[in-house]
Amino acid sequence: MSLEDAKNQVDQAFTRQNLRGPSYENTFGGATSFLRRRYTKDLAGVDLAVTGVPFDQAVTNRPGTRLGPRAIREASALQSPDAPYGWGYDPMSEFAIADYGDLAFDYADVPAFPAALQAHIAGILNAGAASVTLGGDHSITLAILKAYAAKFGPLSVLQFDAHTDTWADDNMDRVDHGTFMYKAVKLGIVDPARSVQVGIRTDNPDTMGFHIIDAPRVHEIGNRAVCDEIRAVLGDHPTYVTFDIDCLDPAFAPGTGTPVWGGLSSAQAAAILRGIRGIDVLGGDVVEVSPPFDTTGATAIAGAHVAMELICLWGWTRRAQT
């Protein structure tokens, strides 16, 4: 692309014709789709769809994650002109990636929400695309896992989080961001023996058989050993990656509902996500970004980078080999 072409790029979210390639639109202007990908509900030819789920009615403390998808999209504009650092390939150029927009739902009909989300994700998967979801509170992951498990069978999960989210809750009609993983195990859609939770630093006696690498252990053994441990547990099993932004220490991600000190740094998270390339990632999400508490935008920036890393992980085993 010539410099002159770059000067004329504007509102690529609506004007770009090709689903592949970087965007040289001014990062400070224009419509803010994720990575300047085209907004579209047409998934023909799409390899991966990024979608937003602006839902936060299931939080136990501070709300605001309903505004997360919008903030993450805005923060991602700075990443759109360049290949992601440290990967050696550019998924924006190699794959057809679209911004599928947000899930439409009735905010006042919470009981109907999970089924609407599951159908939304199932529609993406049935079109032959993978999904990366921008949350939203962490309760959204249960409906997403249901859609993935319906297509692929029981999954391994790699969960980055300050909390295990396995608090007991046998009322399947409740929508709660602290109990969704308990329900996923009880429903048989997640295999805890082949799943890993990273960054945990809150007490919950029932870990349900998950392999836990808590935050103190991450700090103690280092990134490379963490990656080796993750690989040993996941093996080649199909894996869904869910990243709660509160896995990061509040110094790096203050804009979240349930912040806990002693978490991972942005550098640690980046090194671990890049260090596990090659695992069989089917899709993923980044959740719990709450812009009202994100005074500098740092949390949304972290969320945008995590979403890009999830795309890179998904694409690593599908990229053209040279």
Instruction: Round to whole Å and give the CA distance between 142 and 67.
Output: 20
* Helix/strand/coil for 76: helix
pLDDT above 70: residue 50: yes
Written as six digits, the tokens of 262 are: 């002693």
Q: What is the pLDDT of residue 6?
A: 66
User: Whole-angstrom Cα distance, residue 73 to residue 83?
Assistant: 17
What are the binding residues?
138, 161, 163, 165, 244, 246
User: Given this model, what pLDDT does residue 1 score?
Assistant: 52
Annotated binding site for Mn(2+): 138, 161, 163, 165, 244, 246
- Please give the pLDDT value at position 317: 97
Task: Tell me if 216 is assigned to some domain.
Answer: yes
Q: What is the mean pLDDT of the chain?
A: 96
User: What total of structural domains would you count in the chain?
Assistant: 1
- Find out whether 114 and 144 touch, Cβ atoms under 8 Å: no
Q: Considering the domain boundaries, does residue 272 fall inside one? A: yes
Residue 129 lies in a domain: yes
Q: What is the pLDDT of residue 206?
A: 86
Is 137 part of a structural domain of the chain?
yes
Distances (CA, A) of 117 to 48, 92, 124: 17, 26, 11
DSSP run (H or E) holding 224? helix 223-234
Categorize the per-residue pLDDT at 199 as very low, low, confident or very high, splitting at 50, 70 and 90: very high
Rounded Cα distance between 92 and 304, Å, is 14
Domain holding 220, by residue range, is 3-316
Would the CA dihedral through 74, 120, 258, 224 be positive or negative?
Answer: negative
Distance between CA atoms of residues 157 and 145, nearest Å = 9
Identify whether 322 is part of a domain: no
Query: Using an 8 Å Cβ cutoff, are 217 and 134 in contact?
Result: no
Q: Is the pLDDT of residue 322 over 70?
A: no
What's 147's domain CATH number? 3.40.800.10
With left for phi above 0 and alpha for psi between -120 and 50, is residue 208 left, alpha or beta? Answer: left
Q: How confident is the model at residue 172 (pLDDT cuts 50, 70, 90)?
A: confident
What is residue 7's predicted lDDT score, i.e. its pLDDT?
72
Distance CA 203, CA 206 (A): 9
Q: What is the pLDDT of residues 276-310, one digit of tens each?
A: 999 999 999 999 999 999 999 999 999 999 999 99
Q: Is residue 321 part of a domain?
A: no
Q: What are the tokens at 97?
A: 């990636």
Residue 196 in any domain: the answer is: yes
Question: Of 287, 296, 298, whose CA–CA distance to 252 is shortest?
Answer: 298
- Would you say residue 105 lies in a domain? yes
Instruction: List the one residue out of 278, 277, 286 whose CA is nearest residue 307.
Output: 286
Task: Determine the residue type at 49.
Answer: A
**What is the percent of the chain with per-residue pLDDT over 90, rounded to a whole number?**
92
